[in-house]
Amino acid sequence: MQTQLSPEYQARADGRAAEAILRKCVHCGFCTATCPTYQLLGDELDGPRGRIYLMKQVLEGAEPTRKTQMHLDRCLTCRNCETTCPSGVDYGHLIDIGRKLVDEKVPRPAAEKAVRWLLKE
């Protein structure tokens, strides 16, 4: 996949790492067959391929939204998609980077922060 990192992410190691992972994806869609959230919800943005598109948009300078954050949050990080990817996309690493970048720009409501903190503890 071709990408044009925004200057903001060109200077960051995680931005360059995400770009390298994105470039491996050929959008074949095999990953959707093994993704539990895609199977359950049937929404392209709730599957690996859709999330990759969302992360690509953010890395290219699009402003992430709560909706972007929600779709990334719905990923179970089970990495089933990696088992069927013929291109060897390291989706687990990519989703970790994507969540971090989106969380830096999209504030969470206080109640959601509290619940996430409690779950973590």
Q: Where are the domains of the chain?
A: 7-120
Residue 53 CB-half CA count within 13 A: 10
Sorting pLDDT into bands at 50, 70 and 90, what band is 104?
A: very high
pLDDT tens column, 8-41: 999 999 999 999 999 999 999 999 999 999 999 9
Which residue, chain included where needed, has tokens 């960051």? 12
Q: Is the pLDDT of residue 2 over 90?
A: no
Q: Report the top-level CATH class of 7-120.
A: mainly alpha
Mean pLDDT (the chain) is 95
| pLDDT computed for residue 18 by the predictor | 96
First to last CA, the chain: 38
* Res. 67: pLDDT tops 90: yes
Nearest to 15 by CA among 94, 92, 83: 94
Reported pTM: 0.91
